[in-house]
Amino acid sequence: MDRAIRAFLDVLAVQEGASPQTIRAYTSDLAQFQTFAAAALKPQGPLAPASVEPALIREFLAARDRLGDKKTSLARKLACLRSFFRYLVRVGGLQVNPAEDVRAPKLPKHLPQVLTKDDAGALMEFPAGDAREGLRDRAILETLYSTGARVSELVGMNCEDISRSEGVVHVRGKGRKERVIPLSSLALEAIDAYHAHAPVAPVSSSRRSPDVVAVFRNRRGGRLTTRTIARIVAKYSQQLAGGAVHPHTLRHSFATHLLDEGADLRAIQEMLGHVSLSTTQKYTHLATDQLLALYDRTHPRAVSAAEASEVDKQKGSR
């Protein structure tokens, strides 16, 4: 099992280009499962993948549920095990994937949090002044809202990825898949203003690409981390009426506001880098809710549920 797990994680990192966050999560999930399986099966020698059956995986998930793991965490652990055993079937280590028919926990459906257009506009203006940090933070917010990029994609942006003549940026998404996203003139201006006050020196975490320059950098010139970006967004968004938001909220807002303005759903899918259109379709529900709210507020013949209830009460009192 140890050898199989190491080989699987190497394939994820090198061949499939999984993100560091995915590698860390899958490493932890597989270690938890290996410990549980060894305790449950008590093998005479090293634990073998062939000894794992669907019932053991169900028992593992049930045990993690009793320990308080969230449904989303349980679903990820099952996805990890499915992927791991699928890999072993592919390379000939197993005949059948024991996790394939294990049912995933039912996840509650939540509509993503979205800023209003006014709040999104206000957020862009919160970083004030011409100091390097303020200029950088405004460029980060403008780029997140302008492109709908994931945080990992934002921190991975290099100066060479931006085409100012075309007004686009090349990003590397999940599985190192590249796509091209429009970059607004306001975002480009914010990036240019930031770079005018920040020394641009080739700094890279990759030995193979020593001349790569990150778009967004810390004070030492190194690439920012996803946690730093999250702190920056929280710092400014806490000034909004609804309180602090996550960087992914800007991605949701980007997609919803495009849809509100009549953008094609497949075009939004392409810009977001979604593999499946069904993933993008969740934003249609948000747009529908906003349309109904707008209708209730503005149409002369619209009566909200609260108003209708009040009318009914008045009729009953008569």
- The residues that are catalytic are 150, 174, 248, 251, 274, 283
Cα 86 to its chain centre, rounded Å, is 24
CA neighbours within 13 Å on the CB side: how many for 212? 16
- Taking the C-alpha atoms of residue 274 and residue 280, their distance in angstroms, rounded to an integer, is 7
- Taking the C-alpha atoms of residue 27 and residue 55, their distance in angstroms, rounded to an integer, is 22
For 110, the 3-state DSSP assignment is: coil
For 170, the 3-state DSSP assignment is: strand
Longest dimension (CA), the chain: 83
Strands 162-163 and 168-172: what pairing? antiparallel
Note the helical H segments in 148-242. 151-155, 185-197, 226-237
SS (H, E, C) 3-37: HHHHHHHHHHHHHCCCCHHHHHHHHHHHHHHHHHH
96-102-104 Cα angle (round to 5)? 140
Q: Scan for tokens 């990992």, then name that residue.
A: 152
For 251, the 3-state DSSP assignment is: helix
- Taking the C-alpha atoms of residue 286 and residue 93, their distance in angstroms, rounded to an integer, is 45
